[in-house]
Amino acid sequence: MHFDNSMAELLDDRQEWLRFSQPHTSKSIHEADDCWDSHVVVQGMHCAACAFTVEEALLSVPGVHSAEVNAATHRAKVVWSAARVKPSQWMAAMAKAGYGALPAADSSLRQARHEEGRRALWRWLVAGFCMMQVMMYAYPAYVAHEGDITPEMVFLLRWASWVLTLPVVFFSCGPFLGNAWRDIRARRVSMDLPVSLGMVITFLLSSAATFEPNGLFGGEVYYDSLTMFVFFLLTGRWLELRVRDRTAGALEALMNRLPESVARQLSNGEFERVAVRRVLVGDVIRVLPSESFPADGVILQGQTLADEALLTGESRPQVRGVGDSVVAGSHNLSGIVTVRVVQVGKGTQFSQIVSLMENASLQKPRLAQLADRIAKPFLVGVLVLAALSAVWWWPSSPSHALMVAVAVLVVTCPCALSLATPAAMLAAAGNLARHGVLVRNLQALESLAEIDTLIFDKTGTLTQDGQRIAQVVTADGVTPKYALALAAGLAKHSLHPLSRALVQAHNASASSPAPDVQDVVEMIGHGLEGHLNEVFRLGSAAFCAPKTKGLPDKASVCQVHLCSENEWLASWQLSEDVRSDAVQTVQALKDLNVDVWLLSGDRPESAQEVAQQVGIHQAFGACTPQDKLSRMQAAQSQGARVAMVGDGLNDGPVLAGAHVSMAFGNAVPLAQSKSDLVLMGSSLLVVAQSVKLARQTLRVVRQNLVWAATYNAVCVPLAVVGWLPAWLAGLGMALSSLWVVLNSLRLTKGF
């Protein structure tokens, strides 16, 4: 595969890297400060063995630290050092191995996919046309009795069939034969090798019988079988290509949300069109109706409706006017707006979402890893079995022996086995993404399907994220305004929902900013401590009481308390509204036979009140993160499979300890979230819907694996004993792979 030098020069431009790469953040690599993560789409792949080949080619390049290739999505993630290698070098290594590469966000990717589909369609049409003509010429031989057709006519019909088979072999079979020849030269095995051997053997055997009917291999020709099984294989490949595009559609639709260029304001007030990657923080841009916002920003002028469905799961357009924030990747639906850019590149929420989805699409669940591990030994076993079958049948009929070997080679191709798990997992992940649930870890779908217990946090999870101050109690001589300002000075250093509520209340009522409290430290699950002339604490009663020798009775109903080094200053009671779909969510989980718990750091009374509202019977309040973890581990020790749903902040330990964890993306920056699934919208019902879809996904995976195993168990013996003709073997192979993909496609429908 040729690698264009001009393309190499373009890809080696550091400015171009941001199109498909981002700086590597892991510190596990010695040169992490100059390492990059690049995502590319691999061209020319057809199976799990191809994925291994691409990985080996990439890892052979000095400076490439790791490479992950997914056979189902044809995507690769490459971690490389800019000090030792350039993108053109590791892409050239892929080209040398016989595979092309396109940046995952490249504007030409869609065109390349269209061209691939067009070529596949042409090969299929040629094979179909020639197959029908060959069948027409073969028909007389099937129905005629001895003496009905002269030898000259038989030779003419066979010669015509041979001519019609040439386009099938040299054009329609091109991808199979090309990949097989590439593998032979590289001394490796892929799924195209046994299929190609079957094609070549059938064609040569039939050609020998055509031009040497009295030779060693007799007078039987198999042009009809050859053209039929090529047609069936190409039918399966073409339909798989179409279905793969649909199952990978959510990721591609998301990645293609950013425009190629945008109008940026110059110093003289005029606008010029520039590439999106040239936009910097502070620039002023103009976004027209039907365009996407290329960066996070604040609207300076104009009003519009923004479609944020793929980013948040919110299906209704959102009104955005002057002063409102807009996010990269959302669509401007109605008006012309001028926006000041506040975040670009990897700092945008859009970039974080794309990164999460790309990484998830490259992961291989346990079942998929097992299938990949056995694919290569299985292929070697196929070649050996075909050879042994030919040896067994050779004494009775060399021609029949070779056709038995062909049937074995074709029917045993493990395409269905390799597709069984990733096709289903990726279809489900794409469906979840369209509804605002990002899957960080594909293995989590398998774990989520097996849960029997689900634990909710209360604040910001079962209740609305925003809260309001319902009551304030202050010490003598302390005004509520002063106390709130001091509390906001501490709270602005935290992302906890109660802290955010205090900051918002101060910003809404005060004309001056909160004091700048120094050396603020957050004790997760307890509160904040900082220095402003003296040490102040903001947090739970247990956190503040030791400093003040207890809190006054009038503050006992409050959740948040403020104290100095030796005295209590103020307390606040914040009211929170239960999410509108919380009751429906809890009932839906119970209908799925999931035991629902509530563990909260809030007062036991508050936790019980919310639990009663939503229908949860197991509720515990005043829980520290360690308390939550201990209760969860106690349930796990009794055999429970536990999922945890929290806000991703003070729930870190219990989220990490759960079999599968879910967190709301608006509660914590995505880059900090360690949850397996991130809920981008405000809907709680997606939790129950995700559990239901995960269970359906696992059922589909098992169906796929059982089908693939049963198909091989039934068809291989039939091929070995000579009862399965080559054309029927080709049909069986195509249908088995197609059935797996179509069965997985069911997961993209509904929710």
Catalytic residue among 224, 307, 457, 676: 457
> Is residue 407 within 8 Å of residue 719, measured between CB atoms?
yes
Residue carrying structure tokens 């330990």: 653
Q: What is the side-by-side order of every strand in the sheet holding 304-307? A: 318-320, 304-307, 331-332
CA nearest neighbour of 46 among 139, 174, 140, 159: 174
- A 10 A CB-CB count for 533 gives 9
Q: Is 265 helix (H, G, I), strand (E, B) or coil?
A: strand
E-assigned strand segments in 533-672: 534-539, 560-563, 568-575, 595-599, 618-620, 642-646, 660-664
624: left (phi over 0), alpha (psi -120 to 50) or beta: beta
Strand (E) or helix (H) holding 218: none
Which DSSP symbol is given to 193?
A: H
The set of residues, in sequence order, having a beta carbon less than 8 Å from that of 516 and lying 6+ positions away, is 489, 532
Report residue 532 as tokens: 């402003």
> Is residue 701 within 8 Å of residue 428, measured between CB atoms?
no
> Is residue 368 within 8 Å of residue 425, measured between CB atoms?
yes
Q: Is 553 helix (H, G, I), strand (E, B) or coil?
A: helix
Question: Is residue 372 flagged as an active site residue?
Answer: no
CA nearest neighbour of 408 among 381, 432, 377, 426: 381
User: Alpha-carbon distance 525 to 33, whole Å?
Assistant: 33
Burial class of residue 678 (count of CB atoms within 10 Å of its CB; 0-12, 13-18, 19+): buried
- Residue 203's alpha-carbon distances to 169, 197, 720, in angstroms, are 8, 10, 20
Phi, psi of 664 (to 5 degrees): -80, 125
∠ CA 366-672-490, rounded to 5°: 155
Q: In this structure, is the dihedral angle defined by the CA atoms of residues 246, 250, 255 and 260, taken in order, positive or negative?
A: positive
CA nearest neighbour of 372 among 55, 655, 609: 55
User: Alpha-carbon distance 359 to 285, whole Å?
Assistant: 31
Report residue 740 as tokens: 């797996």
CA nearest neighbour of 558 among 490, 472, 617: 472
Which DSSP symbol is given to 617?
A: S
Report residue 110 as tokens: 């869609």
∠ CA 595-597-601, rounded to 5°: 170
Which DSSP symbol is given to 646?
A: E
User: Alpha-carbon distance 256 to 706, whole Å?
Assistant: 36
E-assigned strand segments in 44-130: 64-70, 75-81, 100-103
Q: In this structure, is the dihedral angle defined by the CA atoms of residues 386, 391, 396 and 398, taken in order, positive or negative?
A: positive
User: Alpha-carbon distance 414 to 424, whole Å?
Assistant: 17
CA nearest neighbour of 436 among 324, 344, 333, 349: 349
- A 10 A CB-CB count for 631 gives 18
Q: Catalytic amino acids? A: 457
